């Protein structure tokens, strides 16, 4: 497979082995028919885009029983409330009857703020169950994948969009050029595209290899996103680091000459150059650190089992699927994972088949050690689980390094 952005040859960064669909939690009678694919991370030495060598079909990943809800974290709700306010004050103020479009609008966590403010909006969400939740909240939502054809249809119905936004969505999409064609069709002449995604240098720097799974096809940096945007006649006018998902970047794109470029672009660009993210050595080093982290986590879990300490996983994140399968973790070391999502409870984790139990069981049967798969929510989770820690419970983390605390 050549680079999806510039069509030149890709180089292997790390082979994570056979992997199931990260968000397809299964029942026992589904074990035999589980979908597996080779999870291999590559990078393009020409345009610098980091990407999976292959990805399962979109319909296998995003379906009518998609079990991730943006609103499942209190701090993420706050983040999206702030983003909504920022979009309004920065890009919509002074525009008559503005129109906001969100791709992958999930349960409407962001767009509900526009609905409440009676601002014209439209969410585009391919997973019917989460889209239905957004509709119940009064968020105008259509259940489909975004494409240039969809953009033409929306343009005819609603007119051009002043803001097209998406958070943790663009990095999931294989027909990415089709999506950019849709931006060009739908965006008003002076409109902006606001994109948030995990920031590849932050992922690599923290050895957060669990961000690598089927849904995450692309791993953007400013350099690689700029190369992509330029192909479609857009420039990046702002690049602002975010705390979300362990380190993300918010990129604002516009048509050349319509808005001034913010100083943040030069700052991030300089940082990426100094950091050397466009070198083969930097990528090789990441691959080596993933393998070392796996061995450390395996040996820590082995020691805990040997000392008869009970361990429970905390939060059945998509990321946990990579950790469990890459590290070969079984129920011998991890008998269960607790999670707040009813759609996951009572099922088994993809591939490794660890039982998912309700979050309440963490309180009624606290383990000696909690393996924190939701490490990106550590601040929120550790604050609400203070009594576990106060009673002597310990947390096992693996980002940025494997450690007990």
Q: What residues make contact with ligand DWN under the rule CB under 6 A?
A: 68, 72-73, 168, 215, 245, 315-319, 339-341, 344, 359, 374, 376-377, 380-381
Taking the complex as a whole, the smallest distance from the CB of residue 171 to ligand DWN amounts, in Å, to: 7
**Choice between 366 and 374, CB closer to ligand DWN:** 374
Whether 139 and 121 have beta carbons less than 8 Å apart is answered as yes
CA–CA gap between residue 403 and residue 102 (Å, rounded): 38
Identify which of 236, 235, 231, 227 has the alpha carbon closest to the alpha carbon of residue 46: 227
Taking the complex as a whole, the smallest distance from the CB of residue 22 to ligand DWN amounts, in Å, to: 7
Identify which of 233, 287, 230 has the alpha carbon closest to the alpha carbon of residue 255: 233
Whether 39 and 322 have beta carbons less than 8 Å apart is answered as yes
**Choice between 98 and 374, CB closer to ligand DWN:** 374
Taking the complex as a whole, the smallest distance from the CB of residue 173 to ligand DWN amounts, in Å, to: 11
* DSSP β-bridge partners for residue 47: none
**Choice between 68 and 99, CB closer to ligand DWN:** 68
**Choice between 206 and 267, CB closer to ligand DWN:** 206
Q: What is the 8-class DSSP label of residue 253?
A: E
Taking the complex as a whole, the smallest distance from the CB of residue 299 to ligand DWN amounts, in Å, to: 24
26-59 in b/e burial notation, b at 16+ Cβ within 10 A?
beeeeeeeeeebebbbbbbeebbbbbbeebbebe
Taking the complex as a whole, the smallest distance from the CB of residue 280 to ligand DWN amounts, in Å, to: 27
Taking the complex as a whole, the smallest distance from the CB of residue 161 to ligand DWN amounts, in Å, to: 22
**Choice between 98 and 351, CB closer to ligand DWN:** 351
Identify which of 109, 164, 151, 130 has the alpha carbon closest to the alpha carbon of residue 62: 130
**Choice between 119 and 399, CB closer to ligand DWN:** 399
Whether 213 and 263 have beta carbons less than 8 Å apart is answered as no
- Asked whether the CA dihedral 353, 356, 362, 365 is positive or negative, the reply is negative
Identify which of 210, 173, 202 has the alpha carbon closest to the alpha carbon of residue 320: 210
**Choice between 176 and 265, CB closer to ligand DWN:** 176
Taking the complex as a whole, the smallest distance from the CB of residue 85 to ligand DWN amounts, in Å, to: 20
Identify which of 212, 201, 205, 174 has the alpha carbon closest to the alpha carbon of residue 17: 212
């Amino acid at each position: 497979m050549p680079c999806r952005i510039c069509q030149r040859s890709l180089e292997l960064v790390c082979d994570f082995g056979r992997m199931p669909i990260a968000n397809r939690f299964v029942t026992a009678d589904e074990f035999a028919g589980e979908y597996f694919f080779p999870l291999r991370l590559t990078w393009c030495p020409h345009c610098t885009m980091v990407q999976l060598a292959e990805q399962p079909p979109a319909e296998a990943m995003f379906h009518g029983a998609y079990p991730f809800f943006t609103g499942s974290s209190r701090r993420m709700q706050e983040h999206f409330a702030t983003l909504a306010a920022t979009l309004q004050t920065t890009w919509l103020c002074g525009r008559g009857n503005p129109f906001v479009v969100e791709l992958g609008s999930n349960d409407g966590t962001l767009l509900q703020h526009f609905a409440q403010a009676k601002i014209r909006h439209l969410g585009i969400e391919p997973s019917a169950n989460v889209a239905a939740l957004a509709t119940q909240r009064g968020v105008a939502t259509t259940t489909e994948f975004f494409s240039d054809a969809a953009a033409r249809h929306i343009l005819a119905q609603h007119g051009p969009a002043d803001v097209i936004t998406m958070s943790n969505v663009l990095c999931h999409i294989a027909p990415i050029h089709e999506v950019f064609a849709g931006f060009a069709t739908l965006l008003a002449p002076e409109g902006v595209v606001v994109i948030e995604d995990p920031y590849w240098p932050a992922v690599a720097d923290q050895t957060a290899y669990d961000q690598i799974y089927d849904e995450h096809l692309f791993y953007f940096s400013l350099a690689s996103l700029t190369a992509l945007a330029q192909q479609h006649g857009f420039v990046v006018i702002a690049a602002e680091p975010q705390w979300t998902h362990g380190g993300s970047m918010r990129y604002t794109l516009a048509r050349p000459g319509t808005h001034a470029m913010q100083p943040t672009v030069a700052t991030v660009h300089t940082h990426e150059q100094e950091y050397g993210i466009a070198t083969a050595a930097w990528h090789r080093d990441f691959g080596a650190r993933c393998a070392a982290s796996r061995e450390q986590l395996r040996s820590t879990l082995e020691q805990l089992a040997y000392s008869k300490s009970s361990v429970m996983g905390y939060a059945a994140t998509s990321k946990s699927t990579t950790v469990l399968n890459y590290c070969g973790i079984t129920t011998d070391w991890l008998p269960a994972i607790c999670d707040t999502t009813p759609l996951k409870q009572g099922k088994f984790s993809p591939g490794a088949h660890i039982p998912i139990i309700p979050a309440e069981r963490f309180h009624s049967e606290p383990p000696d050690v909690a393996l924190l798969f939701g490490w990106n929510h550590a601040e929120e989770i550790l604050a609400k689980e203070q009594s576990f820690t106060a009673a002597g419970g310990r947390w096992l983390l693996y980002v940025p390094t494997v450690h007990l605390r």
